[in-house]
Structure 1
Amino acid sequence: MNLRFWLLISTLFVFLSSCQNEETDLIDTPIILNDNVEIYDEEKISMDYVLAIENGSKNAYLLNKQGNKIKEWSFEDNLGNDLEILPDGRLLGMFKVDNPIFSFGGYGGIVKILNNEGEVEWEFEYASENYIAHHDVEMLPNGNVIFLVWEKIDMETLEGLGIQSDVEIYPESLIEVNPTTNQIVWEWHSIDHMIQDVSPSASNYGNISQNPQLINFNYLIEDNGDNWHANGIDVDTDKDVIYISVNYYNEVWVIDHSTTTLEAMSNNGGNYNKGGNLIYRFGNPSTYNNSFGEQLFNRNHFPNLIEGNKPGSGNILIYENGVDESQSTIYELEIPESFSLLPETNNEPQIVWSFTNENLFFSRLSGAVRLNNGNTLICEGDYGFWETTTENGIAWKYNGQGINFWRCYGYEIDSPEILNLNL
């Protein structure tokens, strides 16, 4: 009787242990929640909200990790790409003007600040036959707004500058506006910082490899004049510098924002005493005929500085589209504490971390941001969103079901941005 009793107890113990192991395995295995959320690993996920920005549409929404839309916005005008939630709960975005005189993919023309319901509080139109705002916009700590601009350079000016082009070109500029006064308070123009080695009679003639701080405007000539197609900016307020993603040059430029507008036109002044020249650049040394260092980018989007107490603070994230290889990669790069840009030197930053996957690829759009728990939130423009761990595991995947997304941003549930939305 005792033997049968203990055999029964042993069998029951094995059965319960097996059930417990099965339950543990289920918890450890990422699950599919619905048609949108294809991977959901509750133990590894960062339970924040995701701002999903539909590319060029009138729609944006806030998602939770279960894939539910907890707030939606519909706008009167189509987005000209970027949209962010400000700490006070308002929105800052780039929107498209009607019937622009000229445009390329990612054009905008109107910058707006909206209340948390999407109603316009301020707008600034920057579009004419000679210039148009495009792609990206940022708010500075002083409340000013800075954004990318294409400006048209006519054929006569090009000839005098030694630029080899059969069409007018549209180089990159930055404009900073005070929303209180609508006054332009600072500007930077890449045309002021060029070099070329084909026309000795022009004032900007020089040795390209010996002047990495200058931009070789003849490096690439596109048939439509959009030779650079910058697509993203980020501001390091501590160093007072601006990162510009220059897509067609496969690199990132860094310029000094501490200059005056006059200094930004020159090669001296500002905290770095370089004026508006590049104080750093990375991603493609061949743009300045540098044989040292390897090209890292093959089209790139969104230079995103990791800030605050987030793991990797001070480093920068880049979405490398990988057009030629049909394979996208997210890089985390260590930005030098002191910027150094020297000729005949490897000026490229160190790779700290990277992520790729055989299913990760889009030739346009896209980006990545670091979350507070160390995970990285990725926007794959034609798919949706990934959340990856520091060990390159996949904690979350959201399928947008055919929607193209510009970017996504992660917001902690108790962050000022979310609390001031009054959800």
Structure 2
Amino acid sequence: MPAEQTKLKRAGTGLRAFDRERACPGYTLFAPYQSADPTVYLIDLDGTPLHTWRMPYPAQYARLTERGTLFYNGKTPGEPHNFLSDKPYKVGAVLETDWSGRVLWEMRHPDHHHDGILLRNGNVMLLTLAKLPRELVAKVKGGMPGSEHKGDMYGDHLVEMTTDGRLVREYRLWEQLDPETDRITAIQELRDAWSNGNGLAELPNGDIVVSFRTISTVVVVERRTGVIVWKLGAPPLCGQHAPTPLPNGNLLIFDNGPHRLDHPMPFSRVIEVEPKTRKIAWQYRERRESDFFSPRISNAQRLPNGNTLICEGDFGRLFEVTAACDLVWEYVNPYFGGAPTNNRVFRAYRYSAEEIARARATRHAS
């Protein structure tokens, strides 16, 4: 019998560990990242699929809204002469469906990358890229010299739009970054995109949290003025993803760590940061650092019982830990697509039985 050539498949997929007494009850939602099979899965704690959604585009990721619908970031086909066309982080569309997968609305933007979120006012906020002035490109520090895209570099700006595609407001965030101090932190990083935003979240007051991967920085943008009012960079951060506001006012961040400035080796961790002091209030990392590492994508979610759900995205590994960092649930995405070795998951989320009941009801109410 031929040997299995994919390491992850040899190690095992599906449910790998389950402590029924300490795991948080609920159902876990995930979508194989940009797979040729654009299916969103909802599984129970035994790893059994409860429901699936078949989507029109390959997945970036999906999550449930407060009213129970499915909000989806999907990758549209590349457009000629667009910088993003061949980038793995290109997205292009956000949409909302009911439980049955019926599309309620869809909005597209050719420069949309990495993330888009549904705001409380009903609009969407997108990360988009724009070409920077050549004179600014020459001033940006860091990265591999000469690795710009045909001499150009692209910068992040936020675009707030209605769900029918009308522009509400733009925030050109690259204008507020300093090309000397907000430098690209890895010498081996390409210089085609300066800050390369990868995550958005709305704070209770309406301000927006943004994660910039290549400059290893998380910022808070005041919604009313578009001004960056808070910033945390490297160290302690390194190539981080998915800043998530917590009820206590802190931020939960997946700190990927591919090239740390304060440690000699790469490793990932999940950290809870207190914004006022910029101190780490809690963190999860493996005792042997290399046992937990995803150089790209990934997220974490604080659960109602105080546990934390973690998506180690590059390896499709979803697991749950207690506040004391004990592992109580582990599942490895068994759905490989796009390439035979790819079972990546951009993000994953856990939902309660009540939230799933609300989602089921959208099939009739939407």
Which residue in the other structure is 1:212 paired with? none
Whether the aligned pair in 1 keeps the contact of 2:299 and 2:347 (CA below 8 Å) is: yes
| From 83, 91, 116, the counterpart of 2:62 | 83
Report the 3-state secondary structure (helix = DSSP H, G, I; strand = E; otherwise coil) of the residue aligned with 1:319: strand
Report the 3-state secondary structure (helix = DSSP H, G, I; strand = E; otherwise coil) of the residue aligned with 1:421: helix
| From 251, 261, 264, the counterpart of 1:316 | 251
| CA-CA distance at 1:78 after TM superposition | 1.2
Aligned length: 320
Which residue in the other structure is 2:202 paired with? 235
Which residue in the other structure is 1:203 paired with? none
Which residue in the other structure is 2:83 paired with? 102
| CA-CA distance at 1:373 after TM superposition | 0.4
Residue range with higher mean Cα deviation, 240-249 or 88-97: 88-97
| From 276, 284, 296, the counterpart of 1:355 | 284
Unaligned stretches of 5+ in structure 1? 1-33, 198-207, 209-215, 265-275, 285-294, 308-312, 337-347
Whether the aligned pair in 2 keeps the contact of 1:87 and 1:420 (CA below 8 Å) is: no
Which residue in the other structure is 1:37 paired with? 15
Tell me the amino acid that sits aligned with residue 274 of structure 2: E
Separation in 2, partners of 1:69, 1:316:
31
> Are residues 1:56 and 2:28 paired?
no
Report the 3-state secondary structure (helix = DSSP H, G, I; strand = E; otherwise coil) of the residue aligned with 1:191: helix
Tell me the amino acid that sits aligned with residue 98 of structure 1: P
Separation in 2, partners of 1:387, 1:37:
12
Report the 3-state secondary structure (helix = DSSP H, G, I; strand = E; otherwise coil) of the residue aligned with 1:89: coil
Whether the aligned pair in 2 keeps the contact of 1:243 and 1:303 (CA below 8 Å) is: yes
| From 383, 387, 402, the counterpart of 2:320 | 387
Tell me the amino acid that sits aligned with residue 255 of structure 2: E
Higher helix share: 1
Separation in 1, partners of 2:300, 2:240:
11
Separation in 2, partners of 1:163, 1:148:
23
Distance of aligned partners of 1:365 and 1:191 in 2 relative to their CA distance in 1, 3 Å threshold: closer
| CA-CA distance at 1:123 after TM superposition | 1.4
Whether the aligned pair in 2 keeps the contact of 1:40 and 1:395 (CA below 8 Å) is: yes
| CA-CA distance at 1:223 after TM superposition | 4.1
| From 242, 255, 258, the counterpart of 2:224 | 258
| From 145, 156, 180, the counterpart of 1:172 | 156
Report the 3-state secondary structure (helix = DSSP H, G, I; strand = E; otherwise coil) of the residue aligned with 2:17: strand
Whether the aligned pair in 2 keeps the contact of 1:378 and 1:385 (CA below 8 Å) is: yes
Which residue in the other structure is 2:139 paired with? 163
Mapping of residues 157-306 of structure 1, within 5 Å: 157-159=133-135, 163=139, 167-179=151-163, 181-196=164-179, 216=182, 223-236=190-203, 238-259=204-225, 264=226, 276=227, 278-284=228-234, 295-306=235-246
| CA-CA distance at 1:227 after TM superposition | 2.2
Separation in 2, partners of 1:387, 1:303:
18
Separation in 1, partners of 2:176, 2:183:
9
> Are residues 1:47 and 2:25 paired?
yes
Separation in 1, partners of 2:102, 2:137:
45
| CA-CA distance at 1:239 after TM superposition | 2.7
| CA-CA distance at 1:190 after TM superposition | 1.8
| CA-CA distance at 1:95 after TM superposition | 1.4
> Are residues 1:93 and 2:43 paired?
no
Whether the aligned pair in 2 keeps the contact of 1:82 and 1:135 (CA below 8 Å) is: no
Separation in 2, partners of 1:192, 1:35:
45
Separation in 2, partners of 1:162, 1:368:
36
| From 67, 75, 79, the counterpart of 2:47 | 67
Higher relative contact order (CA 8 A, sep 6+): 2
Separation in 2, partners of 1:67, 1:367:
19
Unaligned stretches of 5+ in structure 2? 1-11, 141-145, 260-264, 337-342
Tell me the amino acid that sits aligned with residue 283 of structure 1: G
Distance of aligned partners of 1:220 and 1:392 in 2 relative to their CA distance in 1, 3 Å threshold: closer
Q: Deviation per CA, 1:329-381: give whole Å up to 9, x if none.
A: 11011122xxxxxxxxxxx6111111112321111111100000000000011
For normalisation by structure 2, the TM-score amounts to 0.81
Separation in 1, partners of 2:238, 2:185:
15
Distance of aligned partners of 1:99 and 1:303 in 2 relative to their CA distance in 1, 3 Å threshold: same
Whether the aligned pair in 2 keeps the contact of 1:163 and 1:217 (CA below 8 Å) is: no
Separation in 2, partners of 1:395, 1:218:
37
Q: Deviation per CA, 1:206-227: give whole Å up to 9, x if none.
A: xx6xxxxxxx468779545112
Separation in 2, partners of 1:152, 1:37:
44
- Larger gyration radius, structure 1 or structure 2: 1
| CA-CA distance at 1:160 after TM superposition | 6.5
Identity across matched positions, percent? 25
Q: Deviation per CA, 1:368-411: give whole Å up to 9, x if none.
A: 00000000000011132110001111110112246211110111
| CA-CA distance at 1:251 after TM superposition | 1.5
